[in-house]
Amino acid sequence: MGNICSISISLDGIFSSCQDYIASKAKYMYKLEDNLVVLQTELQKLTEARDDVMTRVIIAEQQQMKRLNQVQGWLSRVQAVEFEVGEMIRDSSEEIDKLCLGGYCSKNYQSSYKFGKKVAEKLKLVATLRGEGTFQVVAERVIIPKSAVEERPSEPMVGLESTFDEVWRCLEENQAGIFGLYGMGELSCNLKKFKKTSGKGLLILMRCGSIKALKRKPWRFSKVLSKTRFVLLLDDVWERVDLTKVGVPLPNPTTASKVIFTTRFVEVCGHMETLRKFRVECLRHEEAWKLFQKKVGEDTLSCHPDIPEIAEIVAKECGGLPLALITIGRAMAYKKTPQEWRYAVQVLRGSAFEFPGMGKEVYPLLKFSYDSLSSDTVRTCFLYCSLFPEDYSISRRHLIDCWIGEGFLKDHDSINDVQDQGYYIIGVLLHACLLEEDGDDCVKMHDVLRDMALWIACEIEKKSENFLVRAGIGITDLPDVEKWKDVRRISLMENQLGYLSVIPTCPHLQTLFLNYNSLETIKSSFFQYMPTLRVLNLSYNDSLRELPSGISTLVSLQHLVLSETAIKVIPEELKALINLKCLNLENTSSLHTIPQQLISTFSKLHVLRMFNCGFVCQTKDSVLSGDGEFLVKELDWLEAI
């Protein structure tokens, strides 16, 4: 006979333990919204405490004292937490949308739990930092030469020597004034040279955010600066700083003091009433390659004969932007096979925001320029420019036509007024260094800024924007058609598409770029499920001889571009496009028939472009016949509406 073992288990105890465990995790979800409110309040209190400490530090440093290491460490931790909490608050709306049943349940339990726990932990950390920030002493007196300053480590200046030499020459003069440096290029301040310009006076280096702390007790700062020569360096200025309100005396000939600031916006130079302004450009290729090589390292570059050539391609993808060169160079420092380098090129050209460091280090810094734009309209117009391929020369006129078609610009009585608004927005983007001049009537987008714009549209503002851009990469088939249902803007321009034989479902699509392809045939039902499409560009498809009758389903279309195609007949079905505002038929030399009474049905038409249209042959029932008599009558009819 075997032994008999009896085991007794208390199910009540197990159930109770499970219940407690689940409740402990659920509290992070149902307290999420309350915790976020408290977190923002506590963070505000922490930043106020930080500003008070910074005021004391700045005043102490003007008295030749050195801040304590523990104070600097605390300030650094506060800065890191401020950034992390900012990121969490930006992501919070998406996480809150996942909650249901008053926060006790979630559409994605794991995600909500992790986010709620992270918020609770950050709340504790903010409270801890507030408790640590009660310093009785923030600096200590040290014996140093009167003219010495603390020199902060910085990246060596590469490729900017000529710009800085021009600045130095200006500063070494005894002329007082305010000087601005603006542009996409980045600045690493060489304090040794600045010390020479300040002579026996004070040299003060500040980030613009820190100077706000001086507003509370500006008289103390003013007392120090009013009696001595000084050079004040303000880094990263986004708007006008009223120097007198923070206790900085305006530079005057008596002391020959100077204020120097860096900014992304040329308008800030005007608002600050600069004596002179200097544009800081991105690095030229040779200079960029030199910086990139230094960050990658000779060991990596020499470990395989194919790597240097591929590495130079990677460096070019950075567009001369030092921050991108440094970040990508460091990320590639230990990639010692050609395969890894070729994959890096593929990622940077396809979805650069997935490259290590770009989404966390490079784009967030550049995004401040985007966030600082004056309105949502200007921001949307900027993102739209990323639909064009890399290094593409964008016609201002055609870009504004697209903006009008999309409805970005306010309606005016005159089309000239609307176009003037478009040119004004382009000017704003140029002055913010988010676009670049490219000839008299064109602009272009820096490659890294284009990648950042796609990162914003596809990752940060996916719900409102959501782009699909495969421009200029040589594809022969339509990509990711099953994913088009959530996309708002698609650019497939500058590829090798020949046939459009599928029927995509695109309930939210507003812009579709198919220009500069090899299109020959478009299936009649291709446009069937695009009810909200407003902008369609089919230009520069010189093998496209006819439009599908199914184009009549695009009842929301406002902007249609058929220029540089081989289309022979504009079909009667176009009469269904009653919302059309812009029709571009430029250089359609094979076009011989535009049915009479077609153009006059477009009662909202503002722009009709017909330069070099239909001069090969014309049919009698076309508005192109009769020396343009029929066309003039239809245009007169539109004018009378």
* DSSP secondary structure string for all residues of 144-195: --TT-------PPP-S-HHHHHHHHHHHHSS--EEEEEESSS-----HHHHH
What pLDDT, in 10s, does the model give residues 475-503?
A: 999 988 888 999 999 999 999 999 999 99
Judge whether 89 lies within some domain: yes
Q: Which of 489, 537, 524, 270 is nearest to 387 (CA)?
A: 489
The most confident of the ranges 39-48, 54-63, 576-585 is: 576-585
- Could you tell me the CA-to-CA distances from 512 to 393, 394, 400, 424, 489 in Å, in that order? 19, 16, 16, 25, 6
Judge whether 177 lies within some domain: yes
CA distance 544 to 565: 6
Tokens of 581: 């505002």
Cα 76 off chain centre by = 26
User: What's 237's DSSP letter?
Assistant: E
Whichever domain contains 404, its CATH number is 1.10.10.10
For residue 123, is pLDDT > 80? yes
Q: What are phi and psi of 622, to 5 degrees?
A: -105, 150
Contacts of 552 (CB under 8 A, 6+ apart): 573, 574, 575, 576, 577
> Is the domain of 482 the same as that of 530?
yes
CB 223 within 8 A of CB 195: no
> Is the domain of 619 the same as that of 499?
yes
CA distance 491 to 273: 42
The H or E element containing residue 580 is none
How many other CB atoms are there within 10 angstroms of residue 569's CB atom?
A: 16
> Is the domain of 628 the same as that of 481?
yes
Tokens of 116: 């709620």
Q: Which of 495, 524, 492, 498 is nearest to 511 (CA)?
A: 492
User: What's 359's DSSP letter?
Assistant: I
SS3 string of 244-277?
HHHCCCCCCCCCCCEEEEEECCHHHHHHCCCCEE
Of the ranges 144-158, 206-220, 424-438, 560-574, which one carries the lowest mean pLDDT score? 144-158
> Is the domain of 214 the same as that of 305?
no
- In the chain, how many H helices and how many E strands? 20, 21
Mean pLDDT computed over 154-162: 54
> Is the domain of 168 the same as that of 130?
no
CA distance 623 to 429: 40
Judge whether 153 lies within some domain: no
For residue 5, is pLDDT > 80? no
Q: What is the mean pLDDT of the chain?
A: 80
> Is the domain of 610 the same as that of 486?
yes
> Is residue 112 left, alpha or beta, with left meaning phi > 0 and alpha meaning psi from -120 to 50?
alpha
Higher pLDDT, 529 or 334: 529
- Predicted local confidence at residue 144, as pLDDT: 38
Domain of residue 324 covers: 285-337
Judge whether 211 lies within some domain: yes
Sign of CA pseudo-dihedral 580, 581, 586, 589? positive
CA distance 460 to 363: 11
> Is the domain of 565 the same as that of 551?
yes
CB 634 within 8 A of CB 597: yes
Mean pLDDT computed over 602-618: 79
For residue 255, is pLDDT > 70? no
Strands of the sheet containing 258-263, edge to edge, are: 202-207, 230-237, 258-263, 177-182, 276-279
Of the ranges 162-171, 281-290, 497-506, which one carries the lowest mean pLDDT score? 162-171
Mean pLDDT computed over 546-568: 95
Map residue 12 onto helix, strand or coil. helix
Higher pLDDT, 431 or 254: 431
Q: How many domains does the chain have?
A: 5
> Is the domain of 499 the same as that of 364?
no
- Predicted local confidence at residue 8, as pLDDT: 42
> Is the domain of 212 the same as that of 361?
no
- Predicted local confidence at residue 13, as pLDDT: 47
Whichever domain contains 564, its CATH number is 3.80.10.10
Q: Considering 260, 279, 298, which residue would you say is the last residue of a domain?
A: 279
CA distance 451 to 467: 12
The H or E element containing residue 489 is strand 489-491
Q: Which of 571, 569, 637, 561 is nearest to 603 (CA)?
A: 637
- Could you tell me the CA-to-CA distances from 226 to 145, 232, 248 in Å, in that order? 21, 13, 8
Q: Considering 456, 490, 510, which residue would you say is the last residue of a domain?
A: 456
For residue 190, is pLDDT > 50? no
Residues paired with residue 100 on neighbouring β-strands, in sequence order: 105
Higher pLDDT, 600 or 623: 600
Higher pLDDT, 177 or 486: 486
> Is the domain of 402 the same as that of 495?
no
CB 511 within 8 A of CB 404: no
> Is residue 612 left, alpha or beta, with left meaning phi > 0 and alpha meaning psi from -120 to 50?
left
Mean pLDDT computed over 2-9: 42
Mean pLDDT computed over 282-297: 88
Residue count (the chain): 641
What pLDDT, in 10s, does the model give residues 346-399?
A: 888 877 877 888 887 788 878 878 888 889 999 999 999 999 999 899 999 999
How many other CB atoms are there within 10 angstroms of residue 343's CB atom?
A: 13
Higher pLDDT, 489 or 272: 489
Q: Which of 278, 271, 276, 343 is nearest to 313 (CA)?
A: 343
Judge whether 5 lies within some domain: no
> Is the domain of 522 the same as that of 625?
yes
CA distance 320 to 289: 9
Judge whether 99 lies within some domain: yes
CB 489 within 8 A of CB 465: yes
Q: Tokens 């704003």 label which residue?
A: 428
For residue 288, is pLDDT > 80? yes
Tokens of 357: 């460091």
Q: What percent of the chain has pLDDT over 90?
A: 30
- Predicted local confidence at residue 9, as pLDDT: 42
Judge whether 154 lies within some domain: no
Q: Considering 112, 141, 170, which residue would you say is the last residue of a domain?
A: 141
CA distance 549 to 553: 9
Judge whether 131 lies within some domain: yes
Please give the single-letter amino acid code of residue 267: E
The most confident of the ranges 331-335, 398-402, 410-414, 618-622 is: 398-402
Whichever domain contains 178, its CATH number is 3.40.50
Q: What are phi and psi of 70, to 5 degrees?
A: -65, -30
Q: Tokens 């929301």 label which residue?
A: 556
How many other CB atoms are there within 10 angstroms of residue 149's CB atom?
A: 19
Higher pLDDT, 587 or 139: 587
- Could you tell me the CA-to-CA distances from 357 to 292, 324, 331, 507 in Å, in that order? 15, 9, 8, 35
Map residue 443 onto helix, strand or coil. strand
> Is the domain of 96 the same as that of 76?
yes
CB 78 within 8 A of CB 47: yes
